Amino acid sequence: DTEVTQTPKHLVMGMTNKKSLKCEQHMGHRAMYWYKQKAKKPPELMFVYSYEKLSINESVPSRFSPECPNSSLLNLHLHALQPEDSALYLCASSQDLTGGAYGYTFGSGTRLTVV
Amino acid sequence: AQSVSQHNHHVILSEAASLELGCNYSYGGTVNLFWYVQYPGQHLQLLLKYFSGDPLVKGIKGFEAEFIKSKFSFNLRKPSVQWSDTAEYFCAVVRFSGNTPLVFGKGTRLSVIA
């Protein structure tokens, strides 16, 4: 299995809802990442997990809460989001702790719309 | 801080024209370099990557890129573009060692017209 799988592919949620995005990889990769991408912009790093521990939080608002239950799974819990949080949320993984040796594998993303 | 510069914000070409998209990075140590493509409404796809060895790397869909260490550049090229190459192209850089994740350039939008 050489893929990063993200579910759901599309999500529409209200500003008072609580939802979660899920990311899964079975490549034995040691680091996993959440990126946020707005239309026609580059992906922006949100969180990095290394060996299931949060290693980087790019000053992301607390309405986004990451979780890494095990080495294969990465979740992003969403609560009280704003319409400006609508974006494509990308998950990635890398074999080494930064992706410097072998690069990243990206998932296909979850397109989130906050109404 | 490490940064990646893509000089062209929007490039418009006719079909069969040659393409070159510029990418420069600021970090002086050993880096690994990537070009990603994102077709309209789709996710990021890896076009090609450079880790070491031959500085001219070939990727999918007829794309290639040349790493010029002295110029800190990794420009993307294609001899003859097609309408289906219309997409956003992102250059990305990561240090070979260290704890800095992948850094993306701002992207170049390519529009190919018939």
What is residue B97's predicted lDDT score, i.e. its pLDDT? 67
CA distance B105 to chain A (A): 7
Both tokens assigned to A64 = 């986004």
**Least Cα separation, residue A17 to chain B (angstroms):** 25
B32 to chain A: nearest residue by CA?
A100
Contacts of A97 in chain B (CB under 8 A): 99
The pLDDT of residue B2: 64
Q: How confident is the model at residue A2 (pLDDT cuts 50, 70, 90)?
A: low
CA nearest B73: which of B105, B41, B102, B113? B105
Token pair of A25, please? 């990889």
Grade residue A96 by pLDDT with cuts at 50, 70 and 90: confident
CB atoms A108 and B43 under 8 Å: yes
CA-CA distance, B5 to A28, in Å (whole number)? 32
Distance from CA of B79 to the nearest CA of A (A): 25
For B59-102, how does the pLDDT look when each residue is reduced to its tens digit (9 = 90+)? 999 999 999 999 999 999 999 999 999 999 999 998 876 667 88
**CA pair distance B28, B40, nearest whole angstrom:** 34
Q: Mind listing the pLDDT tens digit for each residue in A59-76?
A: 999 999 999 999 999 999
- CA B67 to CA B70: how far, in whole Å? 9
Q: What's the pLDDT at A98?
A: 74
Residues of chain B with pLDDT > 70: what percent?
A: 96
Please judge whether A106 and B44 are an interchain contact, meaning their C-beta atoms are less than 8 angstroms apart.
Answer: yes
Range in B11-25, B76-90, B98-112 the model is least confident about: B98-112
Tell me which amino acid residue B48 is: L
Mutate to test the interface with B, among A98, A102, A105, A108 (most CBs of B within 10 A): A98
Whether residue B46 and residue A103 make contact (CB cut-off 8 A), yes or no, is yes
Position A23 scores a pLDDT of 98
